[in-house]
A and B are shown apart, each in its own frame.
Chain A
Amino acid sequence: MLLGIDVGGTFTDAVVIKDGQVWASAKTPTTHGQLLRGIIMVIDKVLAGINQADVRRVALSTTIVTNALIEGEIDKVALLLLPGPGLNLEGLTPGEPHFLSGYTDHRGREKALPVKDEVSTVCRKIGGSKAAAVVGKFAVRNPAQERQVADWVQECLRPDHITVGAELSGSLNYLRRINSAYYNAAVWRIFTDFAAAIENAVAERGITAPVHILKADGGTLPLGAAQERPVEAIFTGPAASVLGIMALTNLTEPVISLDIGGTSTDIALWQNGVPLLATGGAVVNGYPTAVRSFWLSSVGIGGDSYVRRQGDKLLVGPMRRGPAMACGGPEPTVTDALRVAGMIEYGDQELARKAMLLVAAEGQTPDEAAGETLRAATHTVCKAVADMLSEQAARPVYKVEDIVHGTVFKPELVIGVGGAAKGLVPMVAQELSLPWQVPDGHMVANAIGAASSRPTTEITLRADSAEGYYTVPELGIKRPVDKQRFSLADAWAAAETHLAERAVAGGINETAPVSERIYEEEFNVIRGFTTIGKIMTCKLQLKPGVLVPVQAGRFGDE
């Protein structure tokens, strides 16, 4: 049995999946300020009548990190940077950066050494910080200086936690690694406390199964490994829904997915059965980070979106004034329009008609007002879809082949989940002239996604046989290679080994983990007229996805 929990803005959902079927589901109000209480409540509710010992894994999608950031409940971080020459970072990072000497260049060669006295001076100045982040430019090409400075910081400052930039992300982009590392260190304590509490609570209930945390890229990590990289547990709600879609359907064609909630619709584009990832990573608190995340566009249209008429214009969203009038709310909403249009069956029909009358133009019937409301809502969603499609078409590529023969993303299906999906998805699909699908179980797709998501991790192996070494920044590894013989095949073989090592170290011991090559680059290094080596980059991941396809079963019509 797989237990999945998704803490949302309004409700906390849980499901139990057995043999690919939703076995039980439960919903409780989210307990803001005391997340843990709501999570325990929903666990007790969903496991009523189920033998705890049968639970094989608990997976949790939680807002703990997101909330800590929104509410500013984050720690002060000592941010130590080795920027070398380049962009002036003053004012571009969160917190107050402290710039240190030391520089590693684009080939991973040390061009200037870090100075211990500088580090101890900075540590004296900022004494008292419990968390620190050390980030060096091009540390992904050679982690030595970053690690050296981290050791010095440990010695001088003795913080509870140090985040080292290249361990969070093996990709180029210093600015993003700085921002990732800063926020990782900033939420480390609150996440660690939360993890301990969850572990206790789960153990107290006699559940011995491992607890996994969902990440923004839709993979899970065992709680222990997640504590080293808590920033990745941001934005897991939308990721959970996306995973839910993956579990409930079996998509291979290019798809537009809509997760229509109370106040917003999250749009994702899918290719080859997986959603596209955000270029570079997620934006956290307005700062671009290297946190791997789905590429989602969020528009302010949902079931509870406030509908009103201003002059001769009908406006829908983005704000919410409460639930639908049909459900006892104060103001007209999209749900009221859906009720009047006969697209949903819950809520009071008469109250819904009253709501539509409030926004009707002169001479308009409630039915006509409902139609106009839904067209406006549909139009807003379709515009966001169109923007995403043109952004996708404009994504830069660096090869002639990709410009001349590159494929254009052409969606073939609209798929939707969430409260108002049944009503809005067909209308959006019609405007886009595409077929649509709302899978059974769509109301708890988020919790299904959390329950069934696979653990993932990834590594970047960059080999520079001319310099005679390879690095795996996520693991802090730099190893010599044979300058003459080391080939791309060798690089991939080494990458497989290191990925397996990383998985085991992180507590991922799936029976048959499937690795997937996500990036490959190979260049000849030529000096004079002689090839003196190759520069190769291999990115390998444990393939994200679902442990089992899921059937909604008797909970499908909820």
Chain B
Amino acid sequence: MNNKKLGLVFFPAFDWAITPSHPEREERLLYTRDQIVEEGLLDLPAIREYRPKLATIQDAQRVHIGVPDIASLITDAHLVSAGGAITAAEAVMRREVTNAFALVRPPGHHAMRVVHGTRGFCTINIEAIMVEYLRRHYGLNKIAIVDTDVHHGDGTQDIFYHDPDTLFISFHQDGRTLYPGTGAVAELGSPSALCSTVNIPLPPGTTDAGLHYVLDNLVLPVLEDFRPDIIINSAGQDNHYSDPLANMAITAQGYARLAEKLNADIAVLEGGYSIEEALPYVNTGIILAMAGLDYSRVVEPDIARCPRQSEDNTRYIAQLVGKWQEIWGERETLRREAIAQAGDFWQRRRSIYYDDSGIQERQSETVRICPHCLGYQTVSTQAEGHSFGVKSAFAAIIPRNSCNACRTQAQDALYKAKKENSHDHYFLQDKEMDVLQQI
């Protein structure tokens, strides 16, 4: 007996493209639309379709600090896509459906906290915007995001890197072989949030067998330990064997079984650029699995093309999972040690490349290691690009449930920087008061 009801926000943005021949173009979900409509999925009683609402600039600024402002960096399509994720989440929160899938574009998981432009086809992070919306409007706290896109979800990782209440798990093709290059096991989160970032870089050629080994032996047990209020799936579909931008070997069946096992409350589409051979079948499989319907007949016509997993890969994956099981087992010790080692402030410097906008950003970040709250943060950023010029900004971030000391110190740090006048823009992102102020 099927007791599931899936909310589906389908928004293919048929009038939006990054550029006419970009992978993120009007055509991307055309064949997926064809398949979904032809299958008659929208007429099934176990599926209810929703029209996306428009997210607001405030929804975006709950997550992002846009330089000079987020409104000038995005298009309406971004607000529809973020709004689609929110619509899906609200359908679940209002219990109109048991779970929901925002099958929307443009994607978002490469968009980081500070935004200068578009990178990895993403400008604003639609899952992160949805997560913070749920925290603000529905009082949720512990949230798990499982990123199943082939590319490391570096934007989502960045946004929640200092947040122990958001567990970010990403499996992806190893960054040494694919954009954006990050997502190594060693990226575990800043000290107070250590091991709330779980990166599982898989070797090229990983198949359904390898993926489900990782799922059964690592992802699902970690989720069980974390006990989230809600599970979100960043449902990229470019691990498919036919994807032109990556080198993995997952099938529609592999993805559908993943959706079934993960049992996410909300799934949000990310990448996936095999628009004819993969997306129609993978999406049909995920929709059926999430709606609790039989997906066993969703098989790609060219399935014979899908390679088998090498023995080397099987061994490598088993070792990787073993290594992670060890880390996860010792996570509390590791966190204590990292906090002790960091002292009062934890710092990092990074270079961030915006491939779609041709911008190079240099960023330095500090996090106060605070015994009472998540600790305030500051970010100093400078971005350069050919026609873009040079833009810099300094931001202080007051986290939710912050202590008085962190509130005061964050403001002091911002005014001090402003006085030094070393940046073009100054921002205070106050998550407690839900405002982003330009100072």
Contact = CB atoms under 8 A, between A and B. Distances in A.
A175 B39 contact: yes
Interface in A335-368: none
B13 A526 contact: no
Interface string A288-327: 1000000000000000000000000000000000000000
A85 B43 contact: no
Interface string B19-43: 0110001110011011101111111
A526 B20 CA distance: 9
A489 interface: no
A301 B75 CA distance: 48
B296 to A, nearest CB: 7
A138 B38 contact: yes
Contacts of A137: 38-39
Contacts of A138: 34, 38
Interface residues of B, number: 48
Contacts of B280: 106
Interface in B74-123: 75-77, 80
A288 B76 contact: no
Given A106-B31, A280-B43, A526-B25, A86 B20 contact: no
A86 B300 CA distance: 9
Interface of B: 10-16, 20-21, 25-27, 30-31, 33-35, 37-44, 49-52, 54, 75-77, 80, 276, 280-281, 284, 288, 293-294, 296-302
Nearest to A403: B80
State the 7 A-B residue pairs at the shortest beta-carbon distance, nearest first: A175-B40, A111-B301, A88-B294, A106-B34, A399-B15, A172-B37, A172-B38
A288 B43 contact: yes
B10 A87 contact: no
Nearest to B51: A396
Given A87-B40, A106-B31, A288-B43, 12 more contacts: A86-B284, A87-B288, A105-B301, A106-B35, A174-B40, A395-B51, A396-B11, A398-B33, A399-B14, A399-B15, A400-B75, A403-B76
A530 B21 CA distance: 7
A87 B276 CA distance: 18
A95 B85 CA distance: 39
A87 B41 contact: yes
Contact of A526 (B16, B27, B31, B51): B27
5 contacts: A86-B297, A88-B296, A105-B301, A173-B37, A529-B21
B31 A394 contact: no
Interface of A: 83-88, 90, 92, 103, 105-107, 111-112, 137-138, 172-176, 280, 288, 394-401, 403-404, 521, 523-526, 529-531, 535
Contact of B12 (A88, A173, A398): A398
Contacts of B49: 396
A115 to B, nearest CB: 16
Contacts of A175: 39-40, 43
Contacts of B39: 86-87, 137, 174-175
Nearest to A393: B51
A398 B16 CA distance: 10
- Residue among B20, B37, B300 with the most chain A CB within 10 A? B37
Contacts of A280: 42-43
A88 B2 CA distance: 14
Nearest to B288: A87
Contact of A400 (B13, B21, B35, B293): B13
B35 A112 contact: no
A523 B30 CA distance: 8
Contacts of A529: 21
A400 B55 CA distance: 13
Given A85-B281, A106-B34, A394 B43 contact: no
Nearest to B277: A105
Contacts of B284: 86-87
A526 B54 contact: no
Contacts of A105: 301
A311 to B, nearest CB: 31
Contact of B11 (A398, A401, A521): A398
Contacts of A525: 27
B289 to A, nearest CB: 12
A531 B288 CA distance: 33
B300 A85 contact: yes
A398 B38 contact: no
Contact of B54 (A403, A521, A531): A403
B42 to A, nearest CB: 8
- Residue among B16, B35, B281 with the most chain A CB within 10 A? B35
B38 A524 contact: no
B300 A400 contact: no
B314 to A, nearest CB: 28
A85 B288 CA distance: 13
A87 B293 CA distance: 8
Given A106-B31, A280-B43, A394-B51, A85 B16 contact: no
B363 to A, nearest CB: 31
Contacts of A86: 35, 38-39, 284, 297-298
Contacts of B11: 396, 398, 403
A261 B296 CA distance: 48
Given A106-B31, A106-B276, A400 B37 contact: no
Contacts of B54: 403-404
B145 to A, nearest CB: 25
A526 B50 CA distance: 29
Given A174-B39, A394-B51, A85 B33 contact: no
- Residue among B25, B40, B294 with the most chain A CB within 10 A? B40
- Residue among A395, A396, A400, A401 with the most chain B CB within 10 A? A400
- Residue among B42, B75, B284, B297 with the most chain A CB within 10 A? B297
Nearest to B301: A111
Contacts of A394: 50-51
Nearest to B84: A403
B212 to A, nearest CB: 21
Contact of A88 (B10, B50, B76, B293): B293
Contacts of B293: 87-88
A175 B44 CA distance: 10
A280 B41 CA distance: 12
- Residue among B10, B21, B280 with the most chain A CB within 10 A? B21
Given A396-B50, A531-B21, A173 B10 contact: no
Given A85-B301, A526-B21, A526-B27, A400 B38 contact: no
Nearest to B284: A86
A503 B257 CA distance: 49
Contact of B13 (A92, A106, A398, A531): A398
B43 A173 contact: yes
A399 B81 CA distance: 11
